[in-house]
Amino acid sequence: MSVAKNKNRIIKNSYRKILVFLTLNLKTKEIQRGSIIVFTVLMLAAILTITLTLTRIFIPRIRALGEATDSVTAIFAADSAMEWCLYNNREKTPSLPQPTLSNGATYQIYSDGSPSACPGGESANYRTVGSYRGVSRSFEVSGAPE
């Protein structure tokens, strides 16, 4: 009987060892599967951080480029108004109509600090301000016309 009991113990121990092995193997695979998810989340967080950092660096530069083109349009509007005033002050006959800007830019003419039409006369003291999409640029003339 002792041989039969030993055989049964050996078989039971073998089954236990196999069950322990399979259980540990399955747990290891589950742990590995969970670590892949953690690794993926960490990689996505790193990529998102890099993307947001680059966006924070480059967005102001892109806006500045857009404002530069708006600045050029605003300065052309101010220049158009200034040229119109200079021409009308120099050539007394027939005056040209006020320039119209088809690109959405506007201009304002100031004489001695207050808005006015192009002042004619002995002194040419005026300033023109061109505006486009919130960007304003100006030109100023002081002196007597020739």
Q: Where are the domains of the chain?
A: 2-141
Q: What is the pLDDT of residues 51-81, one digit of tens each?
A: 999 999 999 888 888 788 888 999 999 998 8
pTM: 0.57
Check if the beta carbon of residue 85 is closer than 8 Å to that of residue 120. Answer: no
Tell me which H or E stretch contains 16: helix 2-90
Q: 136, 74 in Cβ contact below 8 A? A: yes
> Which pLDDT tens digit goes with each residue over 9-60?
777 777 777 777 767 666 666 666 667 788 889 999 999 999 999 999 999 8
Would you call 74 exposed, middle or buried from its count of C-beta atoms within 10 A (0-12, 13-18, 19+)?
buried
Rounded Cα gap, residues 141 and 139, in angstroms: 7
Q: Is 126 exposed, middle or buried (0-12, 13-18, 19+ CB in 10 A)?
A: buried
Edge-to-edge order in the sheet of strand 114-115: 114-115, 106-111, 126-132, 135-141
